[in-house]
Amino acid sequence: MATTTPAGVRAHAKHGGGSGEAPMTHRQIMEALSGLLLGMFAAILSSTIVSNALPEIIQDLGGGQSAYTWVVTAALLSMTASTPLWGKLADLVSKKALVQIALVIYIIGSVIAGLAQNSGMLIGARVIQGLGAGGLTALAQIIMAAMISPRERGRYSGYLGATFAVATVGGPLVGGVITDTEWLGWRWCLYVGVPFALIALFVLQKTLHLPESKRKVKVDWAGAFVITAAVSLLLIWVTFADDKYAWLSWQTCAMVGGALALTLLFLLVETKASEPIIPLRLFRNRTITLASLASLLVGVAMFAGTVFFSQYFQLARDMSPTMSGVMTIPMIAGLFVSSTVSGAVITKTGKWKAWLVTGGVLVTAGLGLLGTMRYDTEYWHIAVFMAVMGLGIGMMMQNLVLSTQNQVAPHELGAASSVVTFFRSLGGAMGVSALGSVMTTRISHYATDTIGSLSPQEQAAAAKAVGSGELPDMDALPTHIRTWLESAYGHGIADIFLYVAPIAFLAFLVTLFIKEVPLRTSGALAQAAEASEPKAPTAAASVAPEVSEVPVAEEAPVISEPLPSGIPVRGFVRGAESAPVPRATVTLISLTGRQLGRSVAQPDGSYGVDAPGTGSYVLIASADGYQPQASTLVVGTEPLAYDLLLSGTSGLSGVVRAAEGGLPVKDAMVIVTDVRGDLLATAVTGEQGEFALAELVPGTVTVAVNADGFRPHAVPVEIGGTGVTRVEVDLDSGALLQGIVRAPHGPLADARVTLVDAAGNVVGTATTGSDGAYAFTDLDGGDYTVIATGYPPVASALALTGPGVDGHDIELAHPGE
């Protein structure tokens, strides 16, 4: 079968098709990433920029500590619930269109939030903001994975991580500055992301060019609704637990039980859905499962730091919103440095697990140290603690996503990436809700412990400040009450970090069990670009494709059925004389050896597989009784018709007999070579002279037979396309003539012996050695003349029959001797 690419297919690659073009340069990647980074910066900024402004926002709009928590949690909730849906849509439709839609949703939510007149309206607008932010954070990872190989992705993940770090931890700083600026005010904290989003829309339209997947979209709306309901119920429970009701109460049982029931329903829905938003088969992969669990735990630590630091610096240390943001710069710096440095080193070495493990240690240590702070702890201590925590988060956050993306095929990048992001956001949302409730309890606890030291008038003022349900206005409190309340806030918030430290330690333990798999050197688009000059694999390679960069252990998911969607590759598998080959197995693999789809030919020989996108692939066909074949093909944007021709693996059998008498020849060596003389197979005849050879390629071969006492014989044989070809070989007797040439003093060396047949033809010549011996083999029966020279020549006549003559010695001498 020819292994060259069909002309029609080559035309697709020539005229474009995205991935069939040359690999993207660093400049092109950075231009495309710039829009993504701007959009993601705006999305993450909106999640954290309100942190330092929240005390003033809640004082203006009302709502107390529960509203304080829900302004943050609402955005995290919608971001968490929508992330898997965005990820799944990215596997089905245009990623570029999706990221632009997410930007528009984010802009709408931001405008409504800035116009909010009460805390309820603000929380609702934050839900809309979170929907857009969920799309931006998920799609940024997915699009980057589509453009860049995992090995190179470490470099660019550093930029992504740095953007995430600056937006996450720098948001409170920006929010504080805006809030403290009289001519702006806190509402501009909600507007500030809009210009970034508008610029991102323009840049993405100009620079982001990805191949579009054109197929029918099947969105798992039922799964999206059920998982949203389950997460929302959990967040409502942890938000109001220990405030509206006790942790151990009938409300807890009802809400937790309902969340578990909804989770079980979600699992059932996902098993039935044709396009599940979270493919459950992904969790068969140990790395994806452990990375998701670690992301859940890291999310708690990451968002706890950004949300509760603002309350600590403003309420426990009497800092302005601007200064409370400035105080968090050590954490920003640590996160920025570790994410960029780790990304660059991972790109250079391909090793990533050490960064995850080290990050787990640093996050745990940083949180534990932060748990020791009080309202009057020296700032440089807190700065060091924050820097340690930031270094750890920077090492873990992006590399958990990278380790997951390295495990999946290109068509599942969206789902796999969104799974890890989903669990990280879920951890953050649940952590903020639960820890906010716990913080209120701890602050009240420490306030109650020391309220007895105040005078009756001070106690009344303190009780009003703590028990009103609103955030206290520290500037309006007397000095003694203010110091007392600052101490309560400092100790209570420190307890939050102390409680999160064991969670970070669990994340560290999880990373220990993640198996490090070398990073692939090709991505979804780069993988196709590698094939701009494809090399056709050999038949042997089609049986066992060389996979030097792809993990093939338990970590590598293998898709053993046709892909549910993609660019169709259809055709027929045919054998000799165009006869269909039913039950032939057709496998589609990437150029790096990853299996992407498999199909079994129908009775008419038809097959069908779906390529995940445009690019170059290897198609392998095999069937019983046929030679496996491999072909490199380039898939364009249109369905591809491609027929496969299999050469049958045929057999050769026969019998070897003696030409005289027809008796079978035992222990004869049968050798089969191709037209180039390459050895294909050998066999030894049995008692009846029989032999059999299997797995031979159809075509012309040479069958040579050699046996003691017979002359070698070779015949050309045409092996058919199917079945067993039979041949009979008759061997002529091969007589032997040998002896010693002697002189008067003994055996004569260097004597020349010539054998001449009855017609006068020279049959052969020989020169004796030091022992005087000579020999002629494979001779026909008949009359011969033997002439020996070295002394005066001597000629003698003899007749050869049967096995020949052994011991035909010749005496040579000078006359008279």
| pLDDT tens sequence across 319-332 | 776 777 778 888 87
What band does 361 get if pLDDT is binned at 50, 70 and 90? Answer: very high
Angstrom distance (rounded) from CA 75 to CA 428: 11
The region of weakest confidence among 105-119, 258-272, 533-547 is 533-547
Nearest residue to 23 via CA among 398, 404, 533: 533
Say yes or no to pLDDT of 27 above 50: yes
Q: What is the pLDDT of residue 362?
A: 92
Angstrom distance (rounded) from CA 698 to CA 1: 12
The region of weakest confidence among 112-121, 294-303, 451-460, 538-547 is 538-547
Q: Which residue has the higher pLDDT, 534 or 92?
A: 92
Angstrom distance (rounded) from CA 223 to CA 83: 13
Placement of tokens 């960029």 in the chain? 340
Q: What is the pLDDT of residue 56?
A: 75
What band does 312 get if pLDDT is binned at 50, 70 and 90? Answer: confident
- For residues 579-585, give the mean pLDDT: 83
What band does 542 get if pLDDT is binned at 50, 70 and 90? Answer: very low
What band does 2 get if pLDDT is binned at 50, 70 and 90? Answer: very low
Q: What is the pLDDT of residue 745?
A: 84
| Contacting residues for 806 by C-beta, under 8 A, at least 6 apart | 736, 738, 739
Angstrom distance (rounded) from CA 572 to CA 601: 8
- For residues 466-479, give the mean pLDDT: 57
Say yes or no to pLDDT of 463 above 60: no
Alpha helices (H) in 241-378, listed in sequence order: 250-272, 286-311, 321-326, 329-349, 353-370
The region of weakest confidence among 190-204, 536-550, 623-637 is 536-550
The angle that helices 193-207 and 95-114 make with each other, rounded to 10 degrees, is: 160
The region of weakest confidence among 136-145, 578-587, 660-669 is 136-145
Say yes or no to pLDDT of 427 above 70: yes
Q: Do residues 35 and 128 lie in contact, with contact meaning Cβ atoms separated by under 8 Å?
A: no
Q: What is the pLDDT of residue 582?
A: 85
Q: What is the pLDDT of residue 201?
A: 82
Say yes or no to pLDDT of 809 above 90: no
Q: What is the pLDDT of residue 8?
A: 34
Could you tell me how far CA 399 lies from the centroid of its own chain? 13
Residue 619's φ and ψ, nearest 5 degrees, are: -110, 125
Angstrom distance (rounded) from CA 679 to CA 693: 13
- For residues 435-454, give the mean pLDDT: 69
For residue 800, give both structure tokens.
Answer: 């050869």
Average confidence score pLDDT of the chain: 75
- For residues 137-158, give the mean pLDDT: 66
What band does 4 get if pLDDT is binned at 50, 70 and 90? Answer: very low
- For residues 85-96, give the mean pLDDT: 74
Q: Which residue has the higher pLDDT, 25 or 276?
A: 276
At 768-805, the pLDDT tens digits run: 988 889 888 878 778 889 988 877 888 888 887 777 77
In this structure, are strands 804-806 and 735-743 parallel, antiparallel, or unpaired? Answer: parallel
Burial class (CB in 10 A: 0-12, 13-18, 19+), 558: exposed
Q: Which residue has the higher pLDDT, 801 or 452?
A: 801
- For residues 130-154, give the mean pLDDT: 71
- 3-class DSSP state of 519: coil
Q: How many residues does the chain have?
A: 817
% the chain with pLDDT above 70:
74
Q: What is the pLDDT of residue 817?
A: 58
- For residues 44-58, give the mean pLDDT: 71
Q: Do residues 590 and 547 lie in contact, with contact meaning Cβ atoms separated by under 8 Å?
A: no
| Contacting residues for 787 by C-beta, under 8 A, at least 6 apart | 753, 754, 755, 756, 793, 794, 795
Q: Which residue has the higher pLDDT, 60 or 261?
A: 261
Q: What is the pLDDT of residue 14?
A: 33
- For residues 271-279, give the mean pLDDT: 74
At 183-230, the pLDDT tens digits run: 777 788 888 888 888 888 888 777 777 655 445 556 677 887 887 788
| Contacting residues for 467 by C-beta, under 8 A, at least 6 apart | none
% the chain with pLDDT above 90:
3
Q: Which residue has the higher pLDDT, 25 or 304?
A: 304
Top-ranked range on mean pLDDT: pick from 155-169, 344-358, 449-463: 344-358
Angstrom distance (rounded) from CA 524 to CA 513: 27
Angstrom distance (rounded) from CA 439 to CA 443: 6
Which residues pair with residue 789 across a beta bridge?
A: 752
Write the single-letter amino acid at 642: Y
The region of weakest confidence among 432-436, 520-524, 552-556 is 552-556
Angstrom distance (rounded) from CA 252 to CA 242: 10
At 645-695, the pLDDT tens digits run: 776 667 788 899 887 778 888 888 898 887 777 777 888 898 888 988 876
Q: What is the pLDDT of residue 365?
A: 93
For residue 46, give both structure tokens.
Answer: 């909106």
Q: What is the pLDDT of residue 558?
A: 36
Q: Which strand (E) or helix (H) includes residue 568? A: strand 567-574
Write the single-letter amino acid at 16: G
Residue 812 is given by DSSP the state -
The region of weakest confidence among 30-39, 40-49, 148-157, 682-691 is 148-157
What band does 556 get if pLDDT is binned at 50, 70 and 90? Answer: very low
At 700-732, the pLDDT tens digits run: 888 898 887 787 888 888 877 666 788 888 887
At 749-769, the pLDDT tens digits run: 888 999 898 888 888 888 898
Residue 49 is given by DSSP the state T
Say yes or no to pLDDT of 742 above 60: yes
Alpha helices (H) in 530-612, listed in sequence order: 539-543
At 601-624, the pLDDT tens digits run: 888 888 989 888 887 888 888 887
Q: What is the pLDDT of residue 385?
A: 92
Write the single-letter amino acid at 604: D
Say yes or no to pLDDT of 1 above 60: no
| Contacting residues for 550 by C-beta, under 8 A, at least 6 apart | 520, 556, 592, 593, 594
CA 252 vs CA 255, 262, 397: distances in Å: 5, 15, 31
Nearest residue to 725 via CA among 735, 733, 715: 715
The region of weakest confidence among 104-113, 160-169, 341-350, 396-405 is 160-169
What band does 161 get if pLDDT is binned at 50, 70 and 90? Answer: low
Q: Which residue has the higher pLDDT, 805 or 576?
A: 805
Q: Do residues 621 and 646 lie in contact, with contact meaning Cβ atoms separated by under 8 Å?
A: yes
The region of weakest confidence among 54-63, 346-355, 687-696 is 54-63
Which residues pair with residue 700 across a beta bridge?
A: 718
Q: Which residue has the higher pLDDT, 581 or 459?
A: 581
